[in-house]
Structure 1
Amino acid sequence: MAEGESAIVRTVEEKSQSCPECGAAIRADGRFVVWCGACEWNVDPEGPERDRERERDRLDRARRALARRHGERLLTEVTAGGSLRARRDPASLLAFVIALAVHGATLGLALGGVWWLVRGWGGAGMLLGLFLLAVAWSIRPRTARPPAAGPVLLREDAPELYALVDEVAGVVGTRGVDQVVVDARVNASVLAHGVRGRRLLTLGLPLWEILTPQQRVALLGHELAHYSNGDTRHGLVVSTAYRSLTTWHYYFVPITRPSAVEMVTNLLYVVPRLLLQGMLTLLDHLTLRAAQRAEYLADRGAARAASTEAAVGLMDRILVTESAEVTLRREANRASLTGPHGARAAEGGAEEIWERLRAYMASIPEDEYERQRRVGARRGHSVDATHPPTHLRRTCLLAGPSAPAAVVTGEDRERRIAAELAGARATVARRIVRDGFRA
C-alpha cells in the first residue's frame, strides 16, 4: 500500500450508533454525513436550499426544472417500452426556424449598416451605419470557443490515447477528435469549433485519475456519442443562434445602482429584455427534450463501449466529484500554508497529489454513494442545467438490457496511455499546487 494511501486509510474511523429516529444501527464514517438508511434520517442535512443558493439566475433555475420534467417523462417512456432513438420532432423544427430568424435579424442589421454607411457617406448617416455594423458583428453566429489553455496533446504526442478515442468513436458511430486538451477540472467535454468544425476533447485530469480503466472508456463513449445522436441544441444553426440571443440579453441587463438617467435607461430595457428572455426560454422548451434524449443516448453509447456496469459506475463517480474537489482544494491549501520554501518543495513533488486523490476516493464507503444517490433523487442532482438528473440517467441504464464491453483496455495499453499523459499530469499537478484549485 502506498504511503499516501495508508495515510488516508488511517484517518478512517468507523463507529456504530443507533438512529435517533428509528433506532436502527448506523455505521458512521466521521469524514461523511452520518445518516440512517432505514428511515433516511439526516440523509440531506443541507436540504434543497443549498441548490437554490447556487442557482440565483432565473434562466438557470428554469432550465433545471425543465430538465427534470423532460428527464422524468423520457425515462417513463423508456421503461414503458418506448424508444430513445433520435428523431426530428415539430419542436426541433420550430427551434430551427427560430434560429434562422435570429440569424436573419443579424444579417438584416449588417445589411442595414452597409446601406446607411453608403447612403450617409460623409454625413451623420455613417455613424448609424457603423453602429449597426458593430452590433451585427457582436451578435454574429459564433461557434463555441475552446476552453482556457491547458496542456495540449496532439496525435503524434499520444498515439495510444488517440487510438483508444478512435476505437470508442467507432463503437458509438462517429469519428475521433482532432485535438485533446488536459485541464484541472473534475469534468470532461467535447467541442466542435471553427469553420471546419474541428473536434476538441477536453479531459479533466482529476476526473480521469479517479476512474477505473473501463469507466474512462465509458466517459469517452458518452462524450463522443454526442456527435452521433442528433442533439438539436448543439447543432451549428441552433447553438450559434442561442449564443446570439444570450449576447443580446446581456446587453439589456439592468444597470446596478443606477443614477437618475440610468433608471430611465433601465425602464427602457424592460420590454426588450423580457422579449429576449422569452425567446431564450422558448428555445429551451423546444430543444431541451432533444437535449435530454441526447444525454440518455450518450449514456447508452457509453454502456455499449465500456459495459453497462462501467457506465453506471461512472454515474456514481459523478455523484461524489465534490469530494474530489474538496480533496484537491485541501492539497493546494496545504502547500500554500507551508510558506515559499515549503510550496516549492510541494511543487517539486506535486504528482503525489494524484496518489492522495485516488486513495481518498477509493476509501469512500458504499454508504456515502447510497446517500448521494438518495440526495440526488430528492434534489434532482445533475451535471449542469441541461443534463437530466443523474439518478434518472442511472435508472435508465439499469432499466435496459445489460451491455458487455466492446472496448477493453489491457494493462499494457493503460501503462502506455499513462506514459503519454505523464507530462500533462505533472503540469496540471504543479498548477494546482501553485495557483490553487478552482472547480
Structure 2
Amino acid sequence: MTKAIEETEAVEATEASEVTENPGEECPRCHERMPVDPRFVVWCSACGWNADPSGAEPIGGSRIERARRRMAHRYGEELFAELAHGTSGAVRNGLGAAGVQAVAVSALVHGLTVVLVVLGLWLLIAGWGEGLQPVFAVILFGFAALLRPRFGRLRRKGDDEPVLERRDAPELFALLDEVAGAVGTTGVDVVVVGPEANASVSTYGVRQRRALRLGMSLWAILEPQERVALLGHEFGHYAHGDTRRSLWVGGALRSLDTWRYLLAPNAGETLMDQFVNVLTAVPRWTVHGVTLLLDQATLRAAQRAEYLADSSAAHVAGPAAAAALMDVTLCVEAAESALVREMVAARTRLGGAARHDDPAVGLWDRIAAQTAAVPDHERDRLRRVAELRGHSIDATHPPTHLRHRRLALSEPAPARLVLDERRAAAVDRDLAGPAQTVARQVMRDGHAG
C-alpha cells in the first residue's frame, strides 16, 4: 500500500471516529436520531427526511426534454416488469414496428437534407448570374452541411489525451478481446484514457472503427471483477445494438437537434424578434413533433439496450459483480468530488497535494481511498435518491435502482471470466503510464474536461 493511501486512510479514520462520537441530531419529522457527518448530507433513514435536498425533479428543461423524461419513466417501468419476469428476455429478431417507424422517420429527416442540396444545385445552375439566387444556393448548401449525417470522430477532450492501440497495451487489449468474445462481439481498435468517472464505447470514421473511452476516476474505484462487469456492459452495447447510436437514426436525431437550435425562438424583445418567432413557429413545432415521433420509436429500444448490456455484464463477470458495479456507480459523485478536491489542493498546495512534490503521483489511489471511505449511511442515501429521481436525469438509461434490482433478482451464476490478481496487475501496468499522463494533465490544467 502506498504512503498516499495510508495517509488518506488515516485522515478518513480520524474523521470517522469523530462522526462515531457525535451523538447525531433528532429528525424534525419522526424524531429518530440521525448520524451527522460534516462531509455528507444529514438525513433520516427511518422516514427519508432530507434524503434528496436538491429535489427529485430537475429544474427547467425544454418541452422535448420533459416529454422524453415522461416517456422514459413509463418505458423503464414496463421493461423492468417484462425482463424481470422473463416475458421479454430475448432479443427480438428484426426491427419491429418501432424500428421500422424509426427508420422511416429518419429517412424523412435525411430526405429533407437531400432536398436542400438539390434545391441549392438548381438555384446555382439555373440562376447563375441572376440576382441573389446563387447566394441562396450557398446558404442552402451551408444548412445541408450542418444537417448531414456524420461518421463521428474519436472522442477526445484534449489533443494530448492518451490513445492506446494494441501494441501500446497488450494485456489490456487481451482482456478487452476476451470480454468482447464472451458477450458475442469483437473488441475495440483504440482506448482513450481520460480523467472522468465514466466509461463509454463509440464508433468513428468512415470505416466505423471502435473506441473505448476509459475514465480513470471510475476505473480506479472498481474491484477487478467489477472492472470486468464494466467492460461487459460497454461491449454489450455493441453486441445488442442501440438504434439511437446508429449512423442512420443517430444522425437523424443530431439533425433534428440542429434544426431545433436553428429554429429556437428569440427572446422577443423587439418587434423584429417577434416577427421572426411567428415566421418560424410552424417549422419549429413541426421539428418538435418529428423529434417526439422519433423519440417514441427509439427510447424504449435505448433503455432495453441498457438492460441487455447489464445482462452482458452479469454473463461475463457474474450477477454479483454486475450488481456491485451498480452500487459503485451511485458513488461516482464522491469520486468526482475527490478529484475536484485534489485539483484544488494542487493549485493551492494544500491537503493531499502538499504530501508530494508532484501532486499527480498517487492521484488515482487517493481518489479510490476517499471513495471507499464513503460511509454506509451515505451509500444508503444515494440508493434512496436513485429511487426518488428515477428518470429525471437521463431519459436513455433506466433508473439505476431498477437495474440493480433486476440484477439482484437474477439466478446466481458463475462468472465466465475471472480477473485474478496477477492478470489485474498486468493490466494496471499497461495503464500506469497513460493514467499518470492524465493525472498530470488534470493537475496542470485544473479541470477534468
Task: Give yes or no for the alignment of 1:67 onto 2:72.
Answer: yes
> Out of 257, 276, 301, which is 1:290 matched to?
301
Alignment pair present for 1:113 and 2:117: no
The 1-side partners of 2:109 and 2:15 are apart by 57
2:58, 2:392 within 8 Å by CA — same for their partners in 1? no
Question: Does residue 376 in structure 1 map to residue 382 in structure 2?
Answer: no
The answer as to whether partners of 2:268 and 2:277 remain within 8 angstroms in 1 is no
The corresponding residue for 1:142 is: 150
1:378-393 equivalence runs, <5 A? 378-380=388-390, 384-393=394-403
The answer to whether the 8 A contact 1:19-1:26 is kept is yes
Aligned residue runs from structure 1 range 36-185, under 5 A? 36-48=44-56, 51-53=57-59, 55-87=60-92, 88-124=95-131, 125-147=133-155, 148-149=157-158, 150-185=161-196
Give, in angstroms, the shift of residue 367 of structure 1.
2.2
1:288-310 CA deviation, whole Å, 9 max, x = no partner?
11111100000000111111111
> What displacement does 1:32 show?
2.1
- Which of 420, 426, 429 pairs up with 2:436? 426
Q: 1:346 to 1:258 in 2, by over 3 A?
A: farther
CA contact (8 A) 2:314 2:320 kept: yes
Contact 2:199 2:213 in 1 (8 A): yes
TM-score by length of 1: 0.92
Equivalent position amino acid for 1:117 in 2: L
> Relative to structure 1, is the Cα distance of residues 345 and 317 closer, same or farther in structure 2, using a 3 angstrom cutoff?
closer
Residues 409/130 of structure 1: CA separation in 2 closer, same or farther (3 Å cut): same
Matches within 5 A, 1:349-368: 349-368=359-378
The yes-or-no answer on 1:336 pairing with 2:343 is: no
Structure 2 partner of 1:312: 323
User: Number of paired residues?
Assistant: 434
Output the amino acid matched with 1:348.
D
Question: Contact 1:79 / 1:399 at 8 angstroms: preserved in 2?
Answer: yes
Gaps of 5+ in 2: none
Per-residue CA deviations over 1:191-249 (Å, capped at 9, x if unaligned) read 11111111111001111111111111111111111111132222221111111111111
Distance 2:273 2:42 in 1: 52
Aligned pairs (5 A) from 1:392-407: 392-407=402-417
1:266 shift after superposition: 2.3
- 2:39 corresponds to which residue? 31
Q: Structure 1's 433 and 256: CA in aligned 2 closer, same or farther, altered over 3 A?
A: farther
2:447 aligns with 437
Q: Is the 8 A contact 1:335 1:346 kept in 2?
A: no
Q: Partners of 1:184 and 1:142 in 2: how far apart?
A: 26
Determine if contact 1:347/1:433 at 8 Å carries over to the other structure. Answer: no
Q: Residues 232 and 84 (structure 1 numbering): CA distance in 2 closer, same or farther, change over 3 Å?
A: farther
Q: Secondary structure at the match of 2:79?
A: helix
3-state secondary structure, aligned to 1:226: helix
On the 8 A contact 1:373/1:391 being kept in 2, the answer is yes
**Cα distance, 1:104–1:195 mapped onto 2, change above 3 Å:** same
User: Where does residue 241 of structure 1 map in the other structure?
Assistant: 252
The match for 1:212 is 223
Q: Is the 8 A contact 1:71 1:292 kept in 2?
A: yes
Identity of aligned residues (%): 46
Q: How large is the RMSD of aligned CA atoms in angstroms?
A: 2.3
Distance 1:5 1:345 in 2: 14
Quick one: distance in 2 between partners of 1:307 and 1:215? 9
Deviations along 1:249-283, one digit per CA (max 9) or x if unpaired, are 11111234644323321221222111111111111
Task: Give me the whole-angstrom Cα distance separating, in 2, the residues matched to 1:427 and 1:61.
Answer: 40
Q: Quote the offset at 1:27 in angstroms.
A: 4.3
| Distance (Å, rounded) in 2 between the aligned partners of 1:91 and 1:113 | 33
Distance 1:343 1:7 in 2: 14
Secondary structure of the structure 1 residue equivalent to 2:124: helix
Deviant stretches of 4+, over 6 Å:
342-345
**C-alpha separation between the residues in 2 aligned to 1:345 and 1:119?**
73
Tell me the alpha carbon deviations over residues 34-75 of structure 1, each in whole angstroms, 9 at most, x when there is no partner: 333333233223322xx423x533323332332221110111
2: CA distance between counterparts of 1:345 and 1:76? 51
How many Å separate the matches in 2 of 1:306 and 1:318?
A: 16
Q: Is the 8 A contact 1:303 1:311 kept in 2?
A: yes
Letter in 1 for 2:335: A
Task: Give, in whole Å, the separation in 2 of the partners of 1:305 and 1:43.
Answer: 34
Give me the whole-angstrom Cα distance separating, in 1, the residues matched to 2:268 and 2:356: 45
Give the whole-Å Cα distance in 1 for the aligned partners of 2:296 and 2:207: 29
